[in-house]
Amino acid sequence: MSSNPEISKRFLTRLWKLENEERPAFLVGFTGPKLKGGTPVRSALFSTEGKDTVRKRLLDPEKFLAAQLEEIEGQSRLRGDFVPALCPTLGVIAIPSAFGGEVVWWENDFPSVRPVIGDDPLRVKKLKMPSIRDGVLGRILDYTRYFIERMEGRYPIRMADVQGPVDNAALIFGHTNFLEALLVRPAEVRLLLDMATDLMISFIREQRKLVKRMGAEFVPNGFQPWIPDGMGVSVANDAGVMLSPDLHDEFGVPYLNRLSDEFGGVYIHSCGNWTHLMASLAKVRGLRGLEFGASETPFGPVAERFGGRTVLACRVGLHRDITFAGMADFIAKIKAQAKTCRGLFIHADITNGIVGPDWPETDLEEVYRIIGSPPSIFRGRLRP
């Protein structure tokens, strides 16, 4: 049996409306090299393994497309709330590259970008507002068009990773200089945040318009799970974890609110432990969901504050302080701490996580049993 995209869409729409009382939504990704009941599925976007290096894959749209189709085919064989879609993303570099940041294309990792501002905040005033094709933004739009044309619009297109206002400002400044500028040159920081947010809005509009004009479905989410168009957009807020609640109130929330007002909500990803920002994040208008590693941010306090009020999407993360004795243990502990199934999405995946060499074999039947997924909802084969 495999997941049925139309059934998944209906259930995930209920997830985003906080109506899924009966069970959590879930998706099985790469659970480790040892898997019982299926074949490991590696990420086309993040895996360093495969036919090509990450650099070659990302710079060649045909190879990038092939890798994503391979992942979709593997994913479609597993149970879960899976909606196949293609994502023309290039990582964190999109907005910073448009402001003039030099892109470094690493052979076996996502590309990075060199800071533009550095230790002179006044350089912000010399920046020109980029166009929606500056930097790698044009490449992302070209990949969007290529994916639709090659697949004749059969697959939805996911929104590219445009990070978030604070993340983009930190990448354009350089993180250390950004943190200093928050305190000594706040006016320049606000100017850059305004420009970055304006460009994010313009680019998202343009990518969505292109997808719709070509007759495909636009998914306004660069992460998992699928979200209906019109219910918000995904943003990253990784640099936010380095801010105090007061600084996040001042430099984070207003710009997240702008994006939320524009697109009908925001679905916020953050690495690290952001529990100190929970009161600040609660001030974001239209907060659709929070995506995080539950071995970085402990799940219990988040569930206590936000459970049943917004989507909580969790996975195994990049910290060693909170550990699990395997995927089944992770899922069981998340379910035990959850106040409700409403809005809960469990991503059974360690692609962006840290696990030890003793990480055990994942038994898919055990995973399905713990999640509580009735087999009757998984009928039909994926047919692109």
- Each residue's pLDDT, cut to its tens digit, for the chain (384 residues) gives 346 899 999 999 999 999 999 999 999 999 999 999 999 888 877 766 667 899 999 999 999 999 999 999 999 999 999 999 999 999 999 999 999 999 999 998 899 999 999 999 999 999 999 999 999 999 999 999 999 999 999 999 999 999 999 999 999 999 999 999 999 999 999 999 999 999 999 999 999 999 999 999 999 999 999 999 999 999 999 999 999 999 999 999 999 999 999 999 999 999 999 999 999 999 999 999 999 999 999 999 999 999 999 999 999 998 778 889 999 999 999 999 998 999 999 999 998 888 888 999 999 999 999 998 654 344 333 333
**Spatial separation of the C-alpha atoms in residues 154 and 204, rounded to whole Å:** 21
Count up the domains in the chain and report the number: 2
User: Diameter of the chain by CA atoms?
Assistant: 61
**Spatial separation of the C-alpha atoms in residues 92 and 101, rounded to whole Å:** 11
CATH number at residue 169: 3.20.20.210
Give Cβ neighbours of residue 365 (< 8 Å, ≥ 6 apart). 36, 37
212 and 234 share one domain: no
Q: pLDDT digit string (tens) for 203-224?
A: 999 999 999 999 999 999 999 9
Residue 101, helix vs strand vs coil: coil
* Residue 152 belongs to domain spanning: 56-77+86-216
CATH number at residue 15: 3.80.30
307 and 361 share one domain: yes
Query: Would you give the DSSP letter of residue 119?
Result: T
Query: Would you give the DSSP letter of residue 315?
Result: E
156 and 103 share one domain: yes
183 and 289 share one domain: no
Last residue in a domain, options 165, 181, 216 = 216
Contact (CB, 8 A) for 24 and 345:
yes
Residue 201 lies in a domain: yes
198 and 240 share one domain: no
